[in-house]
Structure 1
Amino acid sequence: MTTDAPSPASAATGTTGTQDLPLLVLASQSPGRARILADAGIGFEAIVSDVDEDAAVAEATARLGGALDPLAMALLLARTKAEAVAAVEAADGAVVLGCDSVFELDGVPYGKPHTPEVAAERWRAMRGRTGILHTGHWLVDNRSTEEDDGGTGATLGTVASASVTFADVTDAEIDAYVATGEPLPCAGGFTIDGRGSAFITGIDGDPHTVVGLSVNTLRSLLASANLSIMDVWA
């Protein structure tokens, strides 16, 4: 349900070799993800990946000779974004986190609806039912691996998932919600931290996963790079 609407980067202290760069770089412009990190006391800078999501999925599908399942799609896009940002000079010396969310209903993956017509169609299919929001997380340790510099060269990821149950909303409620424009840039076409929260009856799992970034998952990935969550606190 994350949105890619632009959001100001959050400034904070860090321990990279670059004076003005925090240790953690978020490869996303999602305001929801930025808000999660800020609320968790984590210092970071956001750098937009500029990845063409549709092209990345199409290339992977052609390479594998078949459609990606929702988990694989979420992880692929998270990795693609993280690696794209890790390759730019501005992210040298940082640990880069890429995230991407995919909604699954009846085994079918759904990304951002983009248009009111698609969003309304999806809501009519989702109402009164339960789907799964998958958020891929990919971490690239972009610090130098030279002796005493602390870099591990780690590049790894995982998917965090949570079930979302929707109210049996009316056609009028769907049309009014879609008219606000809120669901159009969101994976699955809904939010839990905006107007869409009125139409969610339950979440089974970490709510942060549904917003687009699990802090607990980040903690586990940092450990693989010999870092703790305290290392990225502001």
Structure 2
Amino acid sequence: MTRLVLASASPARRSVLRAAGLEPIVRVSDVDEDAVAAALPADTGPRDIVVELARAKAHSVAAALAVDGNGTTEDLVVVGCDSMLLIDGELQGKPHTAEVAQARWQAMAGNNADLLTGHCVLRLRSGVVAAEALDCSATTVHFGKPDPAELDAYIATGEPLQVAGAFTLDGLGGWFVDRIDGDPSSVVGIGLPLLRRLLQEVGVGIDRLWADGRP
């Protein structure tokens, strides 16, 4: 039996997987994203940064599974993801405050930016990492121009404060996205086409996960 473990607390990522026919086991990593990013070499590129963050999350959860004994007799795949918005050459994560979200939207409105999502897939056998696959998806997002009252109301909901780039595609922020060039699921936080390829690299087909993990 093969089960997929999602190393993320994101309800959006879980919803994408559930809509695609899987019921993931959710385990949240204890990774300090800022510390991981700060420890990388200064010349690390944006795509490599989000991949390394995804890798840190996946390995953190894999280590926790081994310590507590969960899944040590199962065939598991652990999936870690991390998303950040690349705008004007700088990576933007979660704004956390209304002031930062306002500033982000001043730069984003009427412009486009690349949403980068790093993915890491680990194949675990008897609690040991047997294979690993890594990559990053990039989707260009074209933003509309919310008027000041709309933007104030959106930020007041709190939604943009805790999501990469201060927007969502599948939530309230969708009103302010004119179009995207690329994979919509990767903008939500986990790219199904890329994930399928990475799963194949570690020897797991979608048909096998469908058989073992339907909601």
TM-score, normalised via structure 1 length: 0.84
Cα deviation code 1:142-178 (max 9, x no counterpart): 1149xxxxx8811121001101001122222221111
Tell me whether 151-160 or 202-211 shows the greater mean CA deviation: 151-160
1:70 CA displacement: 2.1
1:91 CA displacement: 4.6
Equivalent residue, structure 2, for 1:36:
16
Q: 1:51 aligns with which of 22, 31, 35?
A: 31
- Identify the structure with the greater strand proportion: 2
Distance in 1, matches of 2:129 and 2:200, equals 11
Equivalent residue, structure 2, for 1:85:
61
- Identify the structure with the greater helix proportion: 2
Is residue 112–residue 187 contact of structure 1 (8 Å, CA) maintained in 2? yes
Equivalent residue, structure 1, for 2:133:
156
Q: 2:49 aligns with which of 48, 73, 88?
A: 73
Distance in 2, matches of 1:123 and 1:176, equals 13
- Residue 149 (structure 2) pairs with residue 167 (structure 1): no
Distance in 2, matches of 1:191 and 1:152, equals 33
Q: CA RMSD in A?
A: 1.6
Q: 1:95 aligns with which of 66, 74, 77?
A: 77
Distance in 1, matches of 2:156 and 2:204, equals 44
- Residue 212 (structure 2) pairs with residue 232 (structure 1): no
- Residue 115 (structure 2) pairs with residue 115 (structure 1): no
TM-score, normalised via structure 2 length: 0.91
Distance in 2, matches of 1:178 and 1:97, equals 30
How high is the sequence identity, in percent, across the aligned residues?
45
Aligned partner of residue 169 in structure 1, secondary structure = coil
Cα deviation code 1:58-77 (max 9, x no counterpart): 112xxx2x153321111011
Unaligned runs of 5+ in 1: 1-14, 17-22, 146-150
Distance in 2, matches of 1:194 and 1:141, equals 32
Is residue 101–residue 111 contact of structure 1 (8 Å, CA) maintained in 2? yes
Q: 2:165 aligns with which of 188, 200, 203?
A: 188
Unaligned runs of 5+ in 2: none
Aligned residues: 205
